[in-house]
Structure 1
């Protein structure tokens, strides 16, 4: 991350697919996501009710993090993706995206997600409560 740079958090419903793909790859999630399927990435973004971004406040405003969510903006929000470029991991960008989600949703909306195993500690550190009762039907493709 550039020295003396600030991070800008914003709602960005028209996020560019190439930028989204790049952050997925740079975050390490590219190995478990359909990063080579542009139509599916487009559908993932189009189907999200809330897309939040973290960008460096430097020339070009490079994307360094993204949160994608499904929500009714009233009762619950499911964070379906939280990705931060490896170069910005450990700098509070993921927490900043989660804080921005909480700010935009307000205090009456609960937030849930399913963590990748190696990210469990992060969610615990930012104060999320681990829930024992979650269920899953796996994808067929």
Structure 2
């Protein structure tokens, strides 16, 4: 039975590790296979924005930043049952409150995420070529 959802956005970091892992597994993200590292990475991010449906974690985004000029957004994910409801935009809007004036905001997007980020004001970074050393398997 569908219920009206009221999503709350939070910057709290006291999140149970299993809640995080469940969200990542629901999205089939390989970082869920490194639960301790994932948990520590998120808790040590410059910013961690979470979305909640009552007490259920339904989305999160994090930022790594020097705090003044540059910010990088490694993760933004929303539970599949909650996608398409504006939660990702709510998280990114909160990030823009903090980092909107920064000289450079960076992220890597693929698939459907590319259009989402274009709507959020991001564009391809000139003639740059995305490069990485990546130990995941979902790309």
Matched residue pairs, number?
135
Across the aligned residues of Structure 1 and Structure 2, the Cα RMSD in angstroms comes to: 2.3
* CA separation of 1:136 and 1:14: change in aligned 2, threshold 3 A: farther
**1:84 alignment partner, one of 78, 82, 103:** 78
Q: How does 1:54-73 map to 2 (within 5 A)?
A: 54-56=51-53, 58=54, 61-73=55-67
| Contact residue 66 and residue 84 of structure 1 kept, 8 A | yes
Post-superposition offset of 1:70: 0.3
Q: With structure 2 as the length reference, what TM-score do the two structures score?
A: 0.82
Post-superposition offset of 1:116: 2.7
Structure 1 residue 35 corresponds to structure 2 residue 29 = no
- Distance in 2, matches of 1:11 and 1:53, equals 6
* CA separation of 1:127 and 1:136: change in aligned 2, threshold 3 A: same
Structure 1 residue 45 corresponds to structure 2 residue 39 = no
Post-superposition offset of 1:96: 0.7
Residue by residue over 1:46-104, the C-alpha shift from the partner in whole angstroms, topping out at 9 and shown as x without a partner, is 33111110112x3xx21110001101221121111000001111111111100011113
Q: How does 1:121-140 map to 2 (within 5 A)?
A: 121-131=115-125, 132-139=127-134
For structure 2, the residue ranges without an aligned partner over 5 or more in a row are: none
Post-superposition offset of 1:140: 5.5
| Contact residue 73 and residue 109 of structure 1 kept, 8 A | no
Structure 1 residue matching 2:31: 3-state secondary structure? coil
Structure 1 residue 9 corresponds to structure 2 residue 19 = no
For structure 1, the residue ranges without an aligned partner over 5 or more in a row are: none
